[in-house]
């Protein structure tokens, strides 16, 4: 088989290619050149870009084999995520690759503005020794207000706490208790503006945050305030900031981002109390290498059909550690469900019960669907296209959660309605410190079986001698039984034998068992593919 093709459309670190490994054919092109990009993307499985390559609807339409777009960085302004989703293409980025670099730059700008580094440096280069003019202020024992206590905001808070600063924060989506654990006091924006000696912005740019800090807000600040924005341009009103700095309403500013970029001509650049950089938050060797390695790993996962935590167009977002062990189990349950039911269900409920329901378990619905379709479609099933496959087949899907789980700490059930109106279900759980996978229910029959690579299920009328007959036929065929469960709904009623075996049961052996025990249903399940 030919190797999957990965197109690197911009210059990335050598570590990126190394992280991809030998399993892919690597090609290169200049993604910024449209005439070069469109033919180059036609037959590739994945494309890696930075910010210069536009992966829009036109490019996606030209890419008939494309499965994943990887942006080696945080922003996705150059990727049409909606069009990618409509085409069943996964989009991944590296959301944490630059957070340390961005946090360190914010601190650097704060220090530079507090100590007048930029004008003092310029004066010295002009042959002027102006020690008295550029007397600065310390950060020690001052109050810093963090606007936006996300990942970068937390890193900034931690670093400034080490400077001996009093840290307060405004973020309506962060609970005060969580902030208190970090030594941060949550306040309103008005309180923050009134109390802060330093202010650092760490919010995403949204319709709600554009212009959040304008003339009215700056009028509430101390005249000694040093404001830093290394997040997104436009959150701080630049015209209002210029007026506040020019009139002495606030003391200084450190800026790395601007409302329109590239920005080389701003009135703010004329002011000595402004230190500015050209959006350098992610511009460190370490951040670029982390981004390349992160997306390379995501590409490997995506092309293998595995869960990609950094996929931006997959529901579920960041996956809690408590939920992760249930993902492969749920995918196996999905495969077992379809192989035993023998058809695509008209509707599917993915039921999650127990302690893990306190976390976001949406990813388990995706894992179930991936398993449900894994063995019945020609194309590779991923966490992106599995819901599309369900929609195309008219399968209604629902995630059901319940914190109560009477028999197991956590229980995952896939329950579906088949074409004849009957229902079919399989359930599984994780047990012990090592979170071992167990199949615990098959269509109402209680079992306790490890879902190994090879399984077999036989349903028949309960009567003596049937288990021995099954064992004898398998033994004669050289199929070793690793585990066996016998369950029945009533004495003399329906019975189920569930087996884990060391090798796949050949079709002729399954048929021999069917005939010998007059089985209603005989199924072999192979989970190796």
Distant-in-sequence, close-in-space partners of 21: CB < 8 Å, separation ≥ 6: 300
The sign of the CA dihedral 164, 165, 171, 172 is positive
pLDDT at 347: 95
**Chain centre to alpha carbon of residue 60:** 22
From the list 283, 232, 291, 227, the residue with the least C-alpha distance to 260 is 232
317-451: CATH topology? 60s Ribosomal Protein L30; Chain: A; (3.30.1330)
What is the number of alpha carbons within 13 Å of residue 173 lying toward its C-beta? 8
CATH number, domain 5-96+286-303, options 3.20.20.150, 1.10.490.10, 3.40.50.300, 3.40.50.720: 3.40.50.720
Q: How far is Cα 326 from Cα 365, in angstroms, rounded to an integer?
A: 11
Domain 99-276 shares a fold with domain 317-451: no
pLDDT, residue 379, reads 65
- What's the pLDDT at 51? 86
**pLDDT value of residue 316:** 42
Place of tokens 């460190």: 284
Question: Going along 462-520, which residue ranges are E strands?
Answer: 481-488, 494-501
Per-domain residue ranges of the chain: 5-96+286-303, 99-276, 317-451, 452-529
Beta bridge partners of 25: 5
CB atoms within 10 A of CB 229: 26
For 238, residues 6+ apart whose C-beta sits below 8 A from its C-beta are: 258, 259, 266, 268
Task: For the chain, 529 residues long, give each residue's pLDDT as a single digit of tens.
Answer: 689 999 999 999 889 999 998 999 999 999 999 999 999 999 999 999 998 999 999 999 999 999 999 999 887 889 998 888 778 888 998 878 899 999 999 999 999 999 999 999 999 999 999 999 999 999 999 999 999 988 899 999 999 999 999 999 998 767 677 789 889 999 999 999 999 999 999 988 877 788 999 999 999 999 999 999 999 999 999 999 999 999 999 999 999 999 999 999 999 999 999 999 999 998 999 999 999 999 999 999 888 877 787 887 765 445 777 888 898 999 999 999 999 998 889 899 999 999 999 998 988 999 999 899 888 876 667 777 788 888 878 899 999 999 999 999 999 999 999 989 999 999 999 998 889 999 999 999 999 999 999 999 999 999 999 999 999 999 999 999 999 999 998 888 899 999 999 999 998 999 999 999 999 999 999 998 6
| Three-state secondary structure call for residue 149 | coil
Residue reference for tokens 């021999």? 512
State the DSSP string of 267-324.
GGGG-TTEEE-SS-TT-SHHHHHHHHHHHHHHHHHHHTT---TTBTTSTT-SPPTTTT
> Which residues belong to the active site?
232, 261, 279
Distances (CA, A) of 75 to 49, 232, 360: 11, 11, 24
- Is domain 99-276 classified as CATH 3.40.50.720? yes
Written out in words, the top-level CATH class of the domain with range 452-529 is alpha beta
Write a three-state SS string for 401-453.
EECCCCCCCEEEEEEEECCCCCEEEEEEEEECCCCEEEEEEECCEEEEECCCC
């Amino acid at each position: 088989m030919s190797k999957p093709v990965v197109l690197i459309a911009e210059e990335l670190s050598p570590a990126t290619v190394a992280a991809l490994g030998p399993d892919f054919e690597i090609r290169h092109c200049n993604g910024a050149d449209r005439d070069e990009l469109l033919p180059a993307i036609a037959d590739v499985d994945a494309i890696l870009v930075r910010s210069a390559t536009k992966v829009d609807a036109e490019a996606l339409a030209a890419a008939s084999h494309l499965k994943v777009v990887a942006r080696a960085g945080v922003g996705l302004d150059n990727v049409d995520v909606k069009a990618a989703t409509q085409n069943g293409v996964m989009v991944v980025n590296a959301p944490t690759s630059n957070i340390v670099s961005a946090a360190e730059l914010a601190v650097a700008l704060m220090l530079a503005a507090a100590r007048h580094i930029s004008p003092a440096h310029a004066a010295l280069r002009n042959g002027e020794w102006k020690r008295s003019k550029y007397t600065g202020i310390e950060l020690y024992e001052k109050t810093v207000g963090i606007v936006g206590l996300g990942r970068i905001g937390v890193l900034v808070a931690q670093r400034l706490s080490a400077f001996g600063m009093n840290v307060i924060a405004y973020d309506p989506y962060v609970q005060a208790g969580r902030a208190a654990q970090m030594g941060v006091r949550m306040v309103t924006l008005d309180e923050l503006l009134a109390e802060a000696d330093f202010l650092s912005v760490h919010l995403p740019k949204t319709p709600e945050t554009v212009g959040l800090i304008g003339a009215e807000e700056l009028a509430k600040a101390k005249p000694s305030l040093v404001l830093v924005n290394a997040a997104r341009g436009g959150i701080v009103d630049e015209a209002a900031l210029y007026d506040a700095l020019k009139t002495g309403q606030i003391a200084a500013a450190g800026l790395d981002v601007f409302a329109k970029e590239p920005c080389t001509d701003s009135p703010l650049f004329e002011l000595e109390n402004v230190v500015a950089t050209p959006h350098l938050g992610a511009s460190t060797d370490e951040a670029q290498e982390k981004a390349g390695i992160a997306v390379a790993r995501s590409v490997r996962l995506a092309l293998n059909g595995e869960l990609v935590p950094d996929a931006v167009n997959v529901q579920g977002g960041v996956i809690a550690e408590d939920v992760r062990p249930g993902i492969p189990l749920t995918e196996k349950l999905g495969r077992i469900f379809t192989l035993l039911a023998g058809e695509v269900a008209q509707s599917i409920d993915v039921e999650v019960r127990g302690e893990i329901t306190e976390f976001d378990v949406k990813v388990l619905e995706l894992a179930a669907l991936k398993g449900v379709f894994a063995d019945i479609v020609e194309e590779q099933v991923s966490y992106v296209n599995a819901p599309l496959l369900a929609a195309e087949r008219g399968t209604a899907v629902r995630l059901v959660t319940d914190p109560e789980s009477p028999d197991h700490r956590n229980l995952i059930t896939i329950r579906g309605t088949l074409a004849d109106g009957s229902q079919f279900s399989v359930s599984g759980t994780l047990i012990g410190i090592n979170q071992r996978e167990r199949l615990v229910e098959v269509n109402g029959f209680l079992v306790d079986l490890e879902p190994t690579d090879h399984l077999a299920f036989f349903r028949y009328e309960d009567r003596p001698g049937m288990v021995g007959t099954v064992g004898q036929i398998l033994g004669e065929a050289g199929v070793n039984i690793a585990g066996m469960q016998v369950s029945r709904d009533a004495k003399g009623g329906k019975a189920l034998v569930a087996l884990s075996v060391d090798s796949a049961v050949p079709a002729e052996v399954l048929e021999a068992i069917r005939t010998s025990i007059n089985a209603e249903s005989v199924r072999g399940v192979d989970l190796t593919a």
